[in-house]
Chain A
């Protein structure tokens, strides 16, 4: 239980948290503005990762790939919004869940059809493969540190976008009164498409960045999607601030739980059992956290809606 391990795991937690924030911010924006629950958000994560891997492999440039990944996810998002999603805004949540579940099936099987079942390779660029030595002699991978940086930059950019720009003003107006901003002459369906594409491109960015750490494969978006749902439910659906707070909380609690719970149980159990119990409990930890929070605050911590 050294300090180095703690710092390292805290950073891992932050890295998971910032990537979850990229996913969760899109989900929560779409829910806040359009009132839509979108299970297919994980598919944009996958689309971003695949496009990045494919373009990076053919051009040899990670950054070009990243740009292509974000663009592909944004285009996929805009198309899906135009063809399917806009028919769902006035439907029940049940219809939204099922239609977007159908989209997951279509995206996953379609990708498997195009790229095959075996994972694609995507590695971080060579100038980010080293380690950084932090105070306290902790060596930490540069790439992971960069991910935290990207997450922070995006969080600030989103904050500025929502609070300082005309588009942000419209998004906020759309959250509080859809009919009124339509009556004031804002093209609301264009606004919806833009918000949806923005959310999709952030998911695509997250997919591409994490894809370089793990593997790029069909279904990679689903575990992240469910974590992102936990995040926005904890944070309060529709709230960007809640998404940020929830993402960091979930990232840190999940990462630390997986490392320290087995160690904790070893104190009063035989090691073989402690590993099993600790791992089982660690895997459930964030869901327990969510259930506790919802039991006391049924609308999440920073609810933007009632």
Chain B
């Protein structure tokens, strides 16, 4: 737990090189997934739907943090504006449902586009739109580095926040309700356990994608772009497009999580676009352990648990969240995963 006084983002290899059967880390990782899977199933059997939805919430927040972790932890791009993608994903689900419910077209020009309450369509739209938004924002922001990057990503997110706040068509600052949860073919998505399982599969896919990506040639280039971009450039790879692609994938994952979140709550409002939410996502990534595959999951579990149980005891729970966060940043840089599973090999 000693703080390595490194200046750059964590110098952790993105993926463990050894694929040995079960070490301490393997046990912790399997335990995290097992707890996340078994508890809601048990709660469902006992009819405690509140806890099933709580598990869905953890899963979705973890998925959003997996997306952000790809940018911050693996890519070294400290994005302070990922709420923009989370919120955009949420609004895609909300706006699709709004037009499907009213049977009005989303737009009539240049092509006629109806609303939709099909989750597959909405997810595809959310991921694509977030990728597109991140392509524009990333293309501009990645021209800058350091504090400027942090600030410009924040500024873009604020731009979208204020836009959603003052654009009256979709509820403005009051937000947009989703009266009926959007549906899937063959699966009843309104059942809490089914919806949890959908989110769980989403989280697993996002983590598998991150893991595959970081083991590929692209992942090696991204790691080098974080550690030493001059060296990457010297070896003939331009760091800019590598970072941009990672940024876009990161945003698409977070955007998908946002769409899931809107349907879980049956509601989307500018709150999920606020800079506070961007900050919370960063907090989750750090609490869990930055640049580690299971870090976002560990962080999301800790965060939502604190919010739920500490928030049940005192309305000032964020004071304690602040103290915990301060302690983690100052004294325990490797987060929950570093604490439970030990450091990565070459830290």
Interface residue ranges, A against B (CB under 8 Å):
31, 37, 84, 87-88, 90-95, 97-99, 101-106, 108-110, 112-113, 222, 226, 229-230, 233, 237, 276, 279-280, 282-284, 287-288, 290-291, 294-295, 298-300
Contacts and interface: CB of A to CB of B under 8 A. Distances in A.
B317 to A, nearest CB: 8
Nearest to B162: A283
A280 B325 contact: no
Interface of B: 5-9, 72, 78, 80, 140, 143-144, 146-148, 150-152, 154-156, 158-159, 162-163, 165-169, 275-276, 279, 282-283, 286, 290, 316-319, 321-323, 325-326, 329-330, 333
A284 B279 CA distance: 20
B128 to A, nearest CB: 22
30 contacts: A84-B326, A87-B330, A90-B5, A93-B150, A94-B282, A94-B290, A97-B282, A99-B325, A99-B329, A99-B330, A101-B282, A101-B325, A102-B322, A103-B322, A105-B325, A109-B317, A109-B318, A226-B158, A229-B154, A233-B151, A276-B167, A276-B168, A283-B165, A284-B159, A287-B155, A294-B140, A294-B148, A294-B152, A298-B148, A299-B144
Given A101-B282, A291-B156, A284 B162 contact: yes
Contacts of B326: 84, 99, 102-103, 106
Contacts of A91: 5, 7
Contacts of A288: 159
Q: Considering residues A99, A108, A279, A287, which has the most beta carbons from chain B within 10 angstroms of its beta carbon?
A: A287
Contacts of B152: 233, 290-291, 294
Main secondary structure of the interface of A (DSSP, over half): helix
A92 B6 contact: yes
B140 A291 contact: yes
Nearest to A236: B148
A226 B147 CA distance: 13
A126 B17 CA distance: 72
Nearest to B165: A283
Contacts of B156: 287, 291
Contacts of A294: 140, 143-144, 148, 152
A243 B150 CA distance: 18
Nearest to B78: A94
A269 to B, nearest CB: 14
Contact of B9 (A31, A94, A102, A112): A94
B322 A291 contact: no
Contacts of B9: 92, 94
Nearest to B140: A295
Nearest to A87: B330
Contacts of A88: 330
A90 B3 CA distance: 12
B124 to A, nearest CB: 27
A279 B8 CA distance: 40
Contacts of B8: 92
A87 B325 CA distance: 15
A186 to B, nearest CB: 23
B11 to A, nearest CB: 11
Contacts of A222: 275-276
Contacts of A112: 316
A288 B160 CA distance: 11
Contacts of B283: 98, 101-102
Contacts of A103: 322, 326
A113 B319 contact: yes
B167 A280 contact: yes
A87 B169 CA distance: 47
A91 B9 CA distance: 9
Contacts of B163: 280, 283-284
A282 to B, nearest CB: 8
Nearest 6 CB-CB pairs, A to B? A105-B322, A283-B162, A109-B319, A106-B322, A287-B159, A102-B325
Contact of B322 (A104, A230, A279, A300): A104
Contacts of A106: 319, 322-323, 326
A222 B161 CA distance: 14
A97 B322 contact: no
A291 B155 contact: yes
B318 A280 contact: no
Given A226-B154, A290-B155, A98 B166 contact: no
Contacts of B146: 93
Contacts of B155: 229-230, 233, 287, 290-291
B273 to A, nearest CB: 12
A243 to B, nearest CB: 14
Contacts of A84: 326, 330
A226 B168 CA distance: 24
A110 B319 contact: yes
A289 to B, nearest CB: 10
Given A283-B166, A290-B152, 9 more contacts: A98-B283, A101-B325, A103-B322, A222-B276, A226-B158, A287-B156, A290-B155, A294-B144, A295-B140
Contact of B147 (A31, A101, A104): A31
A294 B142 CA distance: 11
A229 B151 CA distance: 7
A101 B163 CA distance: 24
A284 B160 CA distance: 8
Q: Considering residues A101, A283, A290, which has the most beta carbons from chain B within 10 angstroms of its beta carbon?
A: A101
